[in-house]
């Protein structure tokens, strides 16, 4: 009889992903960015056939994909080795040469969108305005770039444009929880609303009618309408404790698709412009990453669940079933073998309720240890999204605990604001309160706790280690800020206007920043550590990890330092991800 050994945990490392996609005008091609070969490139499928073929070979991540309306080319926005300086290129639909559209060394391009006639490309760029961005137009016939609007006062993004190209919706970002949505019409700015960045969606249904999401005078995002003739807004739809985040317009059927976040999952609604009624659309996944509505009204989504990796799905007009267009899974591991997290809620130190995900291993592999995972952001949240890291950790016998501490998104604007200028106080105690809850309810043992986090989660891992080392056996920090003073000084230029409201001011808030900065507590960092950093990280620069590693070494502490020379803020190359995950598991296993 043939028997097979249980799949090794390293199979999880080989799980592929899709990060963004586009559908052409007649739905004969789907182009998407994926790491099928171990590195990010563009691949395509000639629909309805779903066999993929590779169309770029640059081995770089793609942030934007835009199909030309006539099927003649594709606009792709790519960075290099995680530097986040997206450059714009045109490529043939079947692959081939990358033709530069706007390529400026050290500059960042965002939000490319084609004109109604397809003869122009609009985009924002840090070129000549590294702090606030400018709005530019590229003419495909003359091959010239012209300045349309100069950003001022706050970093600027573009959310949408009118069908006749006369109006643009701009987002002027003051902080993650405060932004001004502005109408740029015939070169003049008109205020629409003030909203949080996470709930800033906008679609034109005609040249004079705009639908948008906002948190103005509310705790959760809702749907509103702006009349460009009267310059007046009207509230359209709000649902209790659901955060409307993004919109997509179905012109053919005159309806708007609304993505709404509700804690750890997403909901999708279809709002009918004629009947002014909304219906809930069933989803094949728990969380949505992207949605596209074809000219026919067919619906395409990219999404994932806790035990389902990123995949593409299509639903036909007036249909109810979803057809998978991709079949990415964990090699050799069934969905039943993976873990669906428990959603728990616990009171923090001041009684505030905190929601969390608890990934528990199968009883036959449970090693009795738990890993606390404070998420990144911090104004993000840990949701029922597939993470190979989480699944292979539980497959290896560890429980993983991911609290959505105060400051997390998807729980209302007031909750999200609680971390602003408060990075190291109550959000830190929310994590400790979560551990105490687990101990009290027999879900964890006090002497069997590890700690790991990335970005803000890495910052929190360092801070928790320095101030609460008695809770942890060993700690992993992935690209976390170690010194809030140097962190504020070295973030990208377009982040700097936000830092006073988000973190603090290095001159006016010295005591606050010193209290919240992990490097203040290096004496308390007594447990073994692993620190991981991307050399090209533009958000948390390598010097942040360098300095804390040196401080620890100067005190004779046990610290292993891994630098990925061709990565930025995270891992875009599969070989690097595999190396890091393998080292993390080996590190934790050494303390069992």
**Calpha distance 453→316 (Å, rounded):** 40
**Residue 379 forms part of a structural domain:** yes
**Residue 324 forms part of a structural domain:** no
Query: By residue range, what is the domain housing residue 565?
Result: 338-485+523-589
**Residue 325 forms part of a structural domain:** no
Burial class (CB in 10 A: 0-12, 13-18, 19+), 201: buried
- One digit per residue, the tens of pLDDT, for the chain of length 592 reads 787 777 676 778 788 999 999 999 999 999 999 999 989 999 999 999 999 999 999 999 999 999 998 999 999 999 998 889 999 999 999 999 999 999 999 999 999 999 999 999 999 999 999 999 999 999 999 999 999 999 999 999 999 999 999 999 999 999 989 999 999 998 899 999 998 888 889 999 999 999 999 999 999 999 999 999 999 999 999 999 999 999 999 999 999 999 999 999 999 999 999 999 999 999 999 999 999 999 999 999 999 999 999 999 999 998 889 999 999 998 888 888 899 999 999 999 999 999 999 999 999 999 999 999 999 999 999 999 999 999 999 999 999 999 999 999 999 999 999 999 999 999 999 999 999 999 999 999 999 999 999 999 999 999 999 999 999 999 999 999 999 999 999 999 999 999 999 999 999 999 999 999 999 999 999 999 999 999 998 899 999 999 999 999 999 999 999 999 988 888 878 888 888 989 999 999 999 9
Provide the number of structural domains found in the chain: 1
**Calpha distance 445→447 (Å, rounded):** 6
**Pairing mode of beta strands 74-78, 62-67:** antiparallel
pLDDT at 574: 81
**Residue 52 forms part of a structural domain:** no
Q: CA distances (Å), 104 to each of 2, 4, 87, 144, 491, in order?
A: 58, 53, 7, 14, 20
What CATH number does residue 582 fall under?
A: 3.40.50.1820
Q: CA distances (Å), 494 to each of 153, 174, 310, 519, in order?
A: 11, 11, 30, 25
User: For the chain, first and last CA: distance in Å?
Assistant: 35
Sign of CA dihedral 436, 442, 446, 450: negative
SS (H, E, C) 252-316: CCCEEEEEEEECCEEEEEEEECCCCEEEEECCCCCEEEEEEECCCCCEEEEEEECCEEEEEEEEC
**Residue 5 forms part of a structural domain:** no
**Residue 511 forms part of a structural domain:** no
**Calpha distance 589→592 (Å, rounded):** 5
**Calpha distance 463→482 (Å, rounded):** 8
Angle at which helices 388-395 and 574-589 pack, to 10 degrees?
Answer: 30
Question: Is residue 82 within 8 Å of 565, Cβ to Cβ?
Answer: no
Q: Give the 3-state secondary structure of residue 131.
A: coil
Which residue, 531, 545, 528, 342, is CA-closest to 453?
531
Which residue, 131, 170, 108, is CA-closest to 497?
131
Q: CA distances (Å), 400 to each of 303, 357, 444, 452, 477, in order?
A: 22, 8, 10, 10, 16
Which residue, 457, 463, 451, is CA-closest to 425?
463
**Residue 201 forms part of a structural domain:** no
**Pairing mode of beta strands 134-139, 277-281:** unpaired
**Calpha distance 441→339 (Å, rounded):** 20
The pTM score is 0.94
Question: Is residue 522 within 8 Å of 555, Cβ to Cβ?
Answer: yes
Starting at the edge strand found earlier in the chain, the sheet holding 308-315 runs 287-293, 299-305, 308-315, 323-324
**Residue 47 forms part of a structural domain:** no
Question: Is residue 64 within 8 Å of 75, Cβ to Cβ?
Answer: yes
């Amino acid at each position: 009889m043939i028997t097979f050994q249980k799949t090794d945990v390293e199979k999880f490392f080989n799980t592929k992903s899709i990060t963004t996609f586009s559908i052409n005008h007649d739905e004969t091609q789907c182009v998407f960015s994926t790491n099928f070969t171990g590195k990010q490139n563009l691949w395509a499928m000639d629909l309805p056939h779903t066999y993929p073929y590779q169309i770029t070979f640059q081995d770089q991540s793609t942030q934007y994909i835009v199909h030309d309306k006539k099927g003649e080319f594709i606009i792709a926005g790519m960075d290099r080795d995680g530097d986040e300086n997206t450059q714009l290129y045109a490529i043939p639909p079947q692959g081939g040469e990358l033709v530069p559209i706007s390529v400026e060394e050290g500059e960042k391009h965002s939000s490319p969108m084609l004109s109604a006639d397809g003869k122009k490309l609009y985009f924002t760029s840090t070129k000549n305005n590294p702090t606030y961005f400018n709005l530019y137009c590229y003419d495909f016939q003359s091959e010239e770039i012209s300045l349309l609007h100069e950003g001022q006062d706050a970093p600027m993004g573009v959310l949408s444009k009118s069908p006749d190209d006369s109006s643009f919706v701009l987002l002027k970002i003051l902080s993650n929880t405060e932004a001004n949505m502005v109408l740029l019409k015939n070169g003049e700015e008109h205020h629409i609303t003030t909203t949080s960045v996470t709930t800033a969606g906008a679609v034109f249904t005609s040249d004079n009618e705009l639908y948008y999401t906002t948190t103005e005078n509310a705790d959760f995002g809702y749907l509103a309408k702006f009349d460009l003739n009267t310059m007046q807004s009207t509230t359209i739809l709000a649902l209790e404790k659901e955060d409307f985040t993004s919109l997509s317009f179905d012109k053919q059927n005159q309806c708007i698709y609304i993505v709404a976040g509700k804690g750890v999952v997403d909901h999708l609604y279809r709002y009918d412009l004629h009947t002014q009624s909304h219906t809930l659309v069933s989803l094949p996944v728990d969380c949505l990453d992207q949605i596209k509505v074809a000219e026919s009204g067919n619906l395409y989504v990219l999404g994932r669940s806790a035990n389902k990796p990123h995949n593409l799905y299509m639903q036909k007009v007036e249909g109810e079933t979803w057809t998978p267009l991709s079949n990415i899974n964990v090699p050799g591991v069934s969905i039943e073998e993976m873990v669906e997290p428990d959603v728990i809620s616990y009171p923090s130190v001041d009684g505030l309720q905190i929601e969390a995900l608890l990934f528990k291993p199968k009883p036959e592999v449970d090693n009795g240890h738990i890993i606390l995972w404070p998420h990144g952001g911090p104004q993000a949240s840990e949701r029922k999204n597939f993470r190979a890291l989480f699944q292979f950790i539980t497959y290896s016998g560890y429980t993983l605990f991911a609290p959505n501490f105060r400051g997390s998104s998807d729980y209302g604007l007031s909750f999200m604001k609680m971390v602003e200028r408060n990075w190291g106080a109550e959000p830190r105690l929310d994590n400790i309160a979560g551990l105490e809850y687990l101990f009290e309810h027999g879900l964890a043992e006090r002497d069997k706790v590890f700690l790991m986090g990335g970005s803000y989660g890495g910052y929190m891992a360092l801070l928790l280690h320095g101030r609460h080392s008695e809770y942890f056996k060993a700690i992993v920090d992935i690209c976390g800020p170690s010194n809030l003073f140097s962190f504020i000084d070295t973030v990208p230029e377009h982040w700097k206007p936000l830092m006073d409201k988000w973190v603090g001011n290095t001159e006016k808030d010295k005591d606050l920043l010193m209290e919240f900065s992990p490097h203040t507590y290096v004496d308390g960092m007594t447990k073994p550590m692993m620190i991981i950093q991307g050399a090209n990280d533009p958000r948390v620069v390598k010097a942040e990890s360098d300095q804390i590693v040196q401080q620890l070494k100067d005190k004779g502490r046990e610290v292993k330092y891994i630098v990925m020379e061709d990565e930025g803020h995270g891992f875009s190359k599969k070989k690097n991800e595999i190396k890091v995950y393998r080292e993390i598991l080996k590190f934790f296993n050494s303390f069992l």
